[in-house]
Amino acid sequence: MSNKTWTKSELEKFKASIIKKKETALEDLSKIKDRTDNLIDQGSSNSIYSSHMADAGSDHQEMENAYYMMQREDTFIKHMEKALNMIEEGTFGVCSSCGVKISKARLEEVPHSSKCVDCKERSKL
C-alpha cells in the first residue's frame, strides 16, 4: 500500500514548487497594486483637470482589470496556502473520496486538489 502515499522527498518537491508559485503570485500582486496606486494618484490629479474624459474612461477600465487580476492572484495565493496546509496535515495529493494518489500532472496544475479526476468527474454527474 506504499503507493497510496507520497514519499517525503516527493512532498518536499511539491512543497518547494508551491512556495515558488506562491512567491511569484505575491510579486505579481504587489506589481498590480503599485500600478493601481499610480492610477489612483493620476485619477485624483485628473479630476482637477477634468478635460480628459477619454483618459478617465480607459483608466477606469484599467482599474477594473487590475482589480480583477488582484482577485485572481489573491485566490491563487489562498489555494497555494491551502495546498501547503494539506502537505502539513498529510492530506495533500490523495483523493479524499477514494483514497488513491492524485496524478502528478494534476497536482502540478491544481496543487490543492482534494479529489482525483475520476471522483471529480463523478461528482459532476
Q: Give the interface with Zn ion as residue ranges (CB under 5 A).
A: 95, 97-98, 116, 119
Compute the least distance from the CB of residue 103 to Zn ion, in Å.
Answer: 11
End-to-end CA distance of the chain: 30
CB of residue 114 vs Zn ion: minimum separation in angstroms?
Answer: 9
Is 62 strand, coil or helix?
helix
Q: Are 92 and 86 in contact (CB under 8 A)?
A: yes
Least distance between Zn ion and beta carbon 88 (Å): 22
User: Cα 31–36–38 angle (5° rounding)?
Assistant: 95
By beta-carbon proximity to Zn ion, the closer residue of 9 and 123 is: 123
Which three three-digit cell numbers place residue 36?
A: 493601481
